[in-house]
Structure 1
Amino acid sequence: MLIKIPAKSVISENQVTDQQVYQDRRRILKSMGFVGASALLTSPSSHAINWFSNQDDDFTTKPLTFSKADRFSTDETPTPKQKVTTHNNFYEFGTDKSDPVNNAQDFKVDPWTLTIDGLVENPITLGYEDLTKAFALEERIYRLRCVEAWSMVIPWIGFPLASLIKKANPLSAAKYVAFETLYDPKQMPGQKSRFTGGGINYPYVEGLRLDEALHPLTLLSVGLYGETLPPQNGAPIRLVTPWKYGFKSIKSIVRISLIDKKPPTTWNILAPSEYGFYANVNPQVSHPRWSQARERRLTTGGLFAQNRIPTTMFNGYPEVAELYKGMDLRKHY
């Protein structure tokens, strides 16, 4: 199936991230009594990257062999790799944007086990090498839109989630797909308590409807910018659903289960009035504390640049609209 991105959805204006929405999101957690340890120890000016104290100890990524899936890719200019790998939400490693890159460099991804189970005829277990060798890899340049109203364009490398699900052969009763992140507080300091990890009850969990999971755009990513994923971006394998807000793209996955009922999802558990199960990018539905009508494209621009771009429905991927035909997208947000 060939998928074309309409020209009208192509965005060319350079943007940068606004810290205000991110701070507002953390403020609500703080008011609930949850705040990352790094926030208690640092000043507001400490968001600058603490470039690693010992370069010899940095996590090492590896080159990948892949084809380019131009039919799925936007022709927008990708966000610089430095931005993609140093500006992250991954509360398992801390709640500040710079915490993941600073706290995850000792993360161990080999050995790794990814289990596919539940309502399937053929349960599957993939080891670390299988993640990059069991399926043909391709590069797809996708937009990433965060619920905090910033965005990036990222050249992911991975394989369709549908390829893995079909290999497991779902039973007819399977209606949803549940995902689970690694739980390892020794490696992930944010998991040591709800107070160090943004109030989240770990492990992080997410879910999709089965038809969403099988959509050709839904990707299991094992790399970006030609190499394996660094830990701050979800090594060794993460989900990428480009028409949904970024929190839906669960990182460092250890389990994928096919089930018959809607699964719980982490941010919906924590704040159900703010983060719905579907999390589709919809500029017409505001977050309770900020508008989603516009976004800031993260590029090499200065921190205080004010130019913005309009947010497009489904993040500019209208081909997914059929998945929600007949649904009230203001109610099923």
Structure 2
Amino acid sequence: MKQVAALAGVGIKTVSRVINDEPNVAASTAERVWAAVRALDYHVDLQAGSLRRSDGRTRTLGLLVGSVDNPFSGAIQRAVEDAATARGVAVFATSLDDDPDREERAVAAFLQRRVDGLILTSAGRRQNYVTHLQDRGIPVVYIDREPGDPSFDTVVSDNRTAARQATEHLINHGHQRIALLADRRVIRTAAEREQGFVEAVRNAGIPAALTPVVTELADTEAAHRALHVLLRSDHPPTAVFSAQNLITIGALHALRDTGRQYSTALIGFDDVPLADLLEPAVTVIAQDPHGIGRTAVERIFARLEGDTTAPRHHVIATTLIARGSGEIRAPQ
């Protein structure tokens, strides 16, 4: 910084004010400083700067998503990055992979890097690191899944209601033999979507024997195998509710393998790439990952700016997008 000041012909304090975008610096002076910064290839050390700043901020956030290779998680990450970058804040992001141990390690790594705030997806019902977060006073927002501790802001979808809506949509098209394909029950969102499915079936008076529930499907291939078995059984389902986007992809493969894509209705939870271009196009319950990400960042910055109100629970609306596959009627 001393070298930048010498080259620009200003004091060190002026360099600091320009770099930190503080007011009351003449435009010509700021241009000289930035020209010196470029000439010397000077880079601000944010961690060193945080030691000097009265608030100790590093201008970074930690983001833990389900998996960066899942389009839903990727969309959340992009929304968080866009909103944070607009405020001059960088985002450290990593994947959870539904592993509680990985969650613990990720949070520890974020704390070591002294991030200003955390946006987290959780794998388990209990978070053992919560005390450390509270002791340090770091603002935290949980997204997608509610944590076991209610003392944090959350931004989620109403999974139970949306799953009930999807199942009712199939029932309204004449289906009773409806199969549910779901992720592992230990995952809170999977359990909530199963609850919504069961409620809709029960409310319609459909016997449980007609509605097979297959859970613990961790990936596309597992969903493919599970639905293939159901479709080859003596009493195959006439409709399928796939309760996660990767499961939907596996279900699509199974329907095409068995030639039932035009006769078996399908609704997926979460949109999937090119779903509208398939034949038939895939009906989905679409979450709003961009809305989830933006809302989470807004809550983090509100906390950083002094909001000490009670924790807020934000529910982001879902949308049923009817494209054709979910509107296939049950056979007479």
What band does the TM-score fall into relative to the shorter chain? under 0.3
- Relative to the length of structure 2, the TM-score reads 0.20
The structure richer in helix per residue is 2
- Relative to the length of structure 1, the TM-score reads 0.20
